[in-house]
Amino acid sequence: MDKVDKKEKILDSAQCLMLDKGYVATTVDEICESAGVTKGSFFYYFKDKEEMGKEMAQRFSSRGKQCCEGLKGEADPLKRVHGLLDMITEISKTADFKGCIMGIFSQELSETHPEIRKICETSFDGFISNLEKDLAQAKDKYAPKSSFKPREVAEYFLATFQGAMVLARAKKDKKIVERALSQFREHLRMLYKK
Amino acid sequence: MDKVDKKEKILDSAQCLMLDKGYVATTVDEICESAGVTKGSFFYYFKDKEEMGKEMAQRFSSRGKQCCEGLKGEADPLKRVHGLLDMITEISKTADFKGCIMGIFSQELSETHPEIRKICETSFDGFISNLEKDLAQAKDKYAPKSSFKPREVAEYFLATFQGAMVLARAKKDKKIVERALSQFREHLRMLYKK
DNA sequence: ACTAACATACCGACTGGTTGGTATTTTAAT
DNA sequence: ATTAAAATACCAACCAGTCGGTATGTTAGT
């Protein structure tokens, strides 16, 4: 295991644990044990727990962005949006899908860890802006006379997705996410029908 | 301060703190200090921290239900739904609105505190079932030929609302909740137009 | 009416274990 | 030999929860 792997392993383990129990309840000792790393190594790679949290959040965010990169090949804006929905639906079905670190950190840390909060905000804004662009182009193309605001619809979608993950946790049933996504698809269909 | 007040004061303080920082990060000492109560009193009224969390969640849930009770006077089912949306919109605008304990506990405790998770699940289910009834009646009345499933729409609404609160935390902007609610209203309008 | 026995409400010092983080040492690579 | 990486041992602060005690009734027997 070279040094990059070791740091990544720490982040992987921490992410997995925090997607279950949140940031505060996940201890450094636990992360180290799960990553097969000693505490000394942990604090060699990260100044403190918060620093690690920040790097994890940033990594999560940029990985998410990277995932969406492949969708930009599609020429039709509405198909790009549905492509995004397809992708999210697929991911949410996989066994190792455990939720979104941004959502968890937002709930838990927004009042106590301002820098982490800021990372979440920026990540959310980036997602919304990307989706907004496609929705706006799709509106020009398919529903130029409609009055809905693409940015608000994009924000609304992210809210729906995040909330569906909250409900999925409470009910221990990931299918809620799928159902919410298909409800949103219906919403889109109605917005864009000529 | 009589004994009922004292217990309520503990629950009030704990709820306020936990809506900010979550369950784990809120300490018993902090709750006691904020409530103006000693630790001895805390453990006199509650077996342990979790017991208090459970009582708090149940209180939050039944208070929410009670709030909705007044809406049942409306005879038209679709107007009942819009009445609910009005009410939630109003509450989310008030200064002391800080979010939903169910959403926070779900995210943080669903894997570690099964009994609290169950309370959240039951509370969510109750809300969804109530809304489902009105949506179903409204469907019979206004859109009998539509194919949407009232239960899924109800679930979808709760997801949207919960997720909007997550985003509101990340952005420190409560208006997101209002916008999401009005987007959902638009969704409803499209579903129920003849 | 007096009192002994009991119950409730409350206090705050204390404890044992855990936490994030540090200091020191050892190992491995160049 | 030098330095980066990793292991070990440790610490002060903090945590939930305990415990012995006090103050204030309440009940019941005489």
Cβ partners under 8 Å of residue A124, min gap 6: A102, A106, A158, B167, B170, B171
Cβ-based contacts of A191 with chain B (< 8 Å): 190
The answer to whether the CB atoms of A159 and B171 lie below 8 A apart is no
The model's pLDDT over A45-98, given as tens digits with 9 standing for 90+, comes to 999 999 999 999 999 999 999 999 999 999 999 999 999 999 999 999 999 999
CA-CA distance, B158 to B162, in Å (whole number)?
Answer: 6
What is the biggest distance separating any 2 CA atoms in chain A, rounded to whole angstroms?
62
The pLDDT of residue A124 is above 70: yes
CA-CA distance, A111 to A121, in Å (whole number)?
Answer: 13
Give B50-192's CATH code, choosing from 2.40.50.140, 3.40.50.300, 3.40.50.2000, 1.10.357.10. Answer: 1.10.357.10
Q: What is the mean pLDDT of residues A103-125?
A: 97
- Residue A74: strand, helix, or coil: coil
CA distance A42 to chain B (A): 22
The pLDDT of residue A126 is above 90: yes
The pLDDT of residue A1 is above 60: no
CATH 1.10.357.10 occupies which residues in chain A?
50-192
Looking at every residue in chain A, the average pLDDT score rounds to 96
> pLDDT band for position A174 (50/70/90)?
very high
Which one of B161, B179, B186 has the shortest CB-CB distance to A163? B161
Looking at domain B1-46, its CATH superfamily turns out to be Homeodomain-like (1.10.10.60)
Distance CA B3 to C1' D24 in A: 13
**In the prediction, which pLDDT does A193 show?**
83
Q: What is the mean pLDDT of residues B63-84?
A: 96
CATH 1.10.10.60 occupies which residues in chain B?
1-46
**In the prediction, which pLDDT does A3 show?**
58
**In the prediction, which pLDDT does B5 show?**
82
> pLDDT band for position B194 (50/70/90)?
low
**In the prediction, which pLDDT does B193 show?**
83
Interface test with B, best of A125, A167, A172 (most B CBs within 10 A): A167
A positions 136-175 inside 8 Å of B (CB): 148, 152-153, 155-156, 158-167, 169-172
A positions 73-112 inside 8 Å of B (CB): 102-104, 106-108, 110-112
**In the prediction, which pLDDT does B98 show?**
97
**In the prediction, which pLDDT does B3 show?**
61
CA-CA distance, A95 to A174, in Å (whole number)?
Answer: 10
Looking at every residue in chain B, the average pLDDT score rounds to 95
- H/E element holding B184? helix B175-192
CA distance A80 to chain B (A): 21
> pLDDT band for position A5 (50/70/90)?
confident
The pLDDT of residue B71 is above 90: yes
